[in-house]
Amino acid sequence: MKDRRQAKLAGILVDYSAGVKKDDIVMVEYSDGTPMEFIREIQTLCLKRGARYVNINYSNADLTYNFYRQANPRQLKYFPKHRLQFMKEVDVYIGIGSPWNTKTLSAIPGKILSDRQRILKPIQRERVDNTRWVITRYPTHSQAQAAGMSFEDFEEFYFGACNIDWEIQSQRQEKLKRVLDKVKTVRLLAPDTDLTFSIAGLPGIKCAGEHNMPDGEVFTAPVRDSVEGYIRYNTPSLYQGKEFSSVYFEFKKGKIVKAAAEQGEEHLDSILNTDRGSRFIGEFAFGLNKKIRRPILSTLFDEKIAGSIHLTPGACYQECDNGNRSAVHWDLVRIMKDGEIYLDGKLAQRHGKFVLPILKPLN
């Protein structure tokens, strides 16, 4: 029996998020735990919408791990020009990550992963900047275990956070976007955080199901050299196959000058030294998805937690270009249940709830 939730989500991804239309070249990439019936549903919808070609790629985490273990330096430095060339022809990219094991790459040295990430950066930038793209993480038992849920409960959580009316969410986010368009300064204040930066001249960007699924955030970016102070993130993060907790950064003139963590500290430098932009911030965002209330050790979900913010070392997005370029884009999350956020000196949010009258409907 076809899962109606699955069919509804496929429709959202193809029609709303990616907007597949006649003569599109579509790339669908999926990994280990994605059900074939879900891929088939997406493929069918793309063809029915008139896509000229639907390219389907399968990624296996064990083979990726084996590549990093077996490849010599020359092989690790190889740039697959054919992948970039094809990506330049792609109109729509739909990516579905479904890991059987979220920590498959945990034993691979961070420098190797960072170096490879930097080599493949042109393909990533082509996808992000020049395709209509959307990514999701289909439920697997490993994700459910990391979230502390049964598989059935995790499925319910996942579809509940994804299968909502994103057009209505976009309308609701418009108020925060308009506020951020006019704001010049932001201050984050909590017992272990005191951070200020400028967003003057940088727009607010709504995220309502166009690129991420689940979605639910409004982001902007700091003026690159304006970040001053310190922040401790209170949400664990899984990045490059390694788990980090209680990450702490200090900033001077926009740059991370001190970094620490309760877990994963030994890997911080390999990430932050990836390139010239990896110690600067490329994104600041408010999490707004009311169906997501606690961390589950998956950035795609955790960065959307209602009442959270994320402040991201690495690359900015083209829509909100603060000039920071990097192979890194690490969305680190702080839930603001013990903090306050000030916009141009006015209290905008306290303990994760908006207090400005114009923004209260977002709570």
Q: Would you kindly state where each structural domain of the chain is located, as residue ranges? A: 4-162, 166-362
Q: What integer pLDDT is reported at residue 179 of this predicted model? A: 96
Joined together, the tokens standing for residue 307 give: 């009442």
Q: How confident is the model at residue 44 (pLDDT cuts 50, 70, 90)?
A: very high
| DSSP character at residue 266 | G
What is the rounded CA–CA span in Å between residue 28 and residue 26?
A: 7
CATH superfamily to which 4-162 belongs: Thermophilic metalloprotease (M29) (3.40.1830.10)
Q: Which helix (H) or strand (E) holds 152?
A: helix 151-162
Question: What single-letter amino acid sits at 3?
Answer: D
Q: Residue 127 has what pLDDT? A: 94
Least confident of 95-109, 220-234, 313-327: 95-109
The position carrying tokens 């069919």 is 7
Residues 232-288: pLDDT tens digits?
A: 999 999 998 889 999 999 999 999 999 999 999 999 999 999 999 999 999 999 999
pLDDT of residue 240: 87
pLDDT at 95 > cutoff 70: yes
What is the structure's pLDDT at 230?
A: 98
Is the pLDDT assigned to residue 2 strictly greater than 80? no
The 8-class DSSP code of residue 315 comes to P
- C-beta of residue 233 within 8 angstroms of C-beta of residue 250: no
pLDDT in tens, 302-353: 999 999 999 999 999 999 999 999 989 999 999 999 999 999 999 999 999 9
Q: How far is CA 330 from the centre of its chain?
A: 8
Distance of CA 246 to the CA centre of its chain: 19
Q: Is the pTM here over 0.85, yes or no?
A: yes
Write out the DSSP string of 181-210: HH--EEEEEETTEEEEEE-TT---EEESSS
Whether the per-residue pLDDT at 65 is higher than 50: the answer is yes
Q: Which own/partner pairs from 129-132 qualify as long-range (CB within 8 Å, at least 24 positions apart)?
A: 129/318, 130/88, 131/27, 131/87, 131/90, 131/91, 131/92, 131/93, 132/17, 132/18, 132/19, 132/91, 132/92, 132/93
Grouping H, G, I as helix, E, B as strand and the rest as coil, residue 75 is helix
d(CA 254, CA 296): 29
Peptide linkage before 122 cis (omega within 30 of 0)? no
Burial status of residue 49 (CB atoms within 10 A of its CB: 0-12, 13-18, 19 or more): middle
Distance of CA 121 to the CA centre of its chain: 16
* DSSP, res 297: S
Mean predicted confidence (pLDDT) in 137-152: 93
User: What is the model's pLDDT at position 1?
Assistant: 47
Q: Are 167 and 126 in contact (CB under 8 A)?
A: no
Distance between CA 285 and CA 255 in Å, rounded? Answer: 18
Q: Any residues with CB less than 8 A from the CB of 214 and at least 6 apart, and which?
A: 136, 158, 161, 162, 289, 291, 292, 300, 301, 304
